[in-house]
Structure 1
Amino acid sequence: MNEYGTLHNKDGRHALTFERVFPYSAEEVFHVITDPDKFVKWYPFATGEMDLEIGGKIQFDDGEGSKYEAVITELDNPHTFSFREVDDLIEISLTEEDNGVRMVFIHTFDDATYAHYIATGWHRCLDVLSQIIHGNAIEWPDNAEELRAFYGEAFGKIT
């Protein structure tokens, strides 16, 4: 399976989509994705403060003085976890398959100018999430430059 993200239009906005397949149950993967102690290890700027219910808040801190929150818009354990982070929408869905569970991660946003940078970041974060799901030690790969080049080529110059 191709683990690279794709960029497409969604309701007049831009959406980055990534897919991963894990040899675990949806319940196991959903728990890792929504556990605040694990979420903070793979999701950028997460503080570990999460009220896991529809309308619940997820707290973020960029470490440079900006604090903000996301609002959980959809929560159906163990199938969907979605939230609005400022103007962006993050949607994570899990579907059982014969060999485990397929996770689809979609980030919907307005300005595609930096899509190759955003894709690079999510690719790396989802690689770390995969490590956590598999019970492995976290190692942030040194592949940002290579990924930026790949996504820049794949998405073309967007202005």
Structure 2
Amino acid sequence: MSDYGTLHEDNGRYALRFERYFPYSPGDVFQIVTNPDDFVQWYPFATGEMDLRTGGKIAFDDGEGTVYEAVITELDEPHTFAFREVDDYLQMSLQDEKEGCRLIFIHTFDDEDMIMYVAAGWHRCLDVLSQIINGEPIEWKDNAVELREHYQKAFHLKE
């Protein structure tokens, strides 16, 4: 299976779905996904402030004066971590598979004009998350332009 995301329509909104397989237990991967110190390394604008409970808040700062919070809507260790970030909904699910687990990452949002940018951004972020989970050094590849072009063509988006 490819690391590329897929696009779906969900109740009039857009949902980007990415899947990644890891040769680790869901519990091991869940700990990394929800660890504030790891979260800030791969999740955009994360500050490391996270109240890890249903109804808890996650703090974000874009570095340009915009500070906002997400609310954790689902926390079912070691299988689901979901939150509402402004009008967007993000869900990370871990499913047992073979001798490891599959991470399913879904971002649901409204802005059609941002699809290829959001897809390329998450692709890059999930590449870094994979590096963290696999104990590799973090390397942000310079591939945003190529990924945007891929997603624009794959999703048949206007230029």
Q: TM-score, normalised by structure 1?
A: 0.98
For each residue in 1:40-81, what CA deviation from the matched residue of structure 2 results, as whole angstroms up to 9, or x when unmatched?
A: 000000000000000000000000000000000000000000
Letter in 1 for 2:31: H
Alpha-carbon shift at residue 17 of structure 1 (Å):
0.2
Larger CA deviation: 3-12 vs 31-40? 3-12
Over the matched positions of the two proteins, sequence identity in percent amounts to 65
Q: Runs in 1 of length 4+ with deviation above 3 angstroms?
A: none
Aligned pairs for 1:105-116 within 5 A: 105-116=105-116
**What is the aligned partner in structure 1 of residue 7 from structure 2?**
7
Letter in 2 for 1:69: E
Aligned pairs for 1:17-96 within 5 A: 17-96=17-96
Q: TM-score, normalised by structure 2?
A: 0.98
Alpha-carbon shift at residue 94 of structure 1 (Å):
0.2
RMSD between aligned alpha carbons?
A: 1.0
Secondary structure of the corresponding residue to residue 137 of structure 1: coil
Letter in 2 for 1:149: E
- Contact 2:152 2:158 (8 Å CA) reproduced: no
> Could you tell me how far apart the structure 1 residues matched to 2:109 and 2:118 are?
10
Unaligned runs of 5+ in 1: none
Unaligned runs of 5+ in 2: none
Secondary structure of the corresponding residue to residue 156 of structure 1: coil
- Contact 1:18 1:104 (8 Å CA) reproduced: yes
> Could you tell me how far apart the structure 2 residues matched to 1:139 and 1:116 are?
22
